[in-house]
């Protein structure tokens, strides 16, 4: 098993040498490590908190629904992209390479 290192100032959160985060779950006889499936600490802390709250709800018999992700149609995304002026990955307006004018530029 990979060597686990405790993450400072976060209870039950450990990190292996491959940068993956794990939650430590204590049983009566041993510690068990469950992968949180992330390599970023802020996301690992959120996943850790969500897991612990889910286990608490299960132990109290509460029925908690997980939030459902809302699907977005491709047409909706493309409409938003066109309304935004078709920016590039830096948020800048794209230019027509032939006329050297912005895509939405109109001569009056």
pTM of the predicted model over 0.75: no
Beta carbons of 63 and 29 less than 8 angstroms apart: no
- Ordered by start, the domain boundaries in the chain are 5-60, 69-108
Q: Give me the pLDDT at residue 90, please.
A: 75
Highest mean pLDDT pick, 2-11, 33-42, 74-83, 93-102: 33-42
The pLDDT tens digits of the residues spanning 27-60 come to 888 888 999 999 999 999 999 999 999 889 999 9
Alpha helical stretches, state H, 1-108: 41-60, 74-83
Q: Give me the pLDDT at residue 108, please.
A: 53
Higher pLDDT pick, 88 / 11: 11
């Amino acid at each position: 098993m990979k060597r686990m290192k405790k993450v400072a100032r976060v209870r039950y959160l450990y990190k292996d040498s491959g940068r993956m985060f794990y939650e430590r779950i204590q049983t009566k006889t041993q510690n068990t490590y469950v992968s949180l499936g992330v390599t970023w600490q802020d996301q690992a802390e959120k996943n850790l908190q969500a897991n612990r709250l889910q286990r608490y709800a299960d132990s109290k018999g509460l029925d908690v629904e997980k939030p459902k992700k809302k699907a977005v149609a491709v047409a909706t995304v493309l409409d938003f992209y066109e309304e935004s002026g078709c920016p590039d990955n830096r948020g800048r307006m794209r230019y027509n390479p032939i006329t050297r004018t912005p895509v939405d530029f109109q001569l009056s």
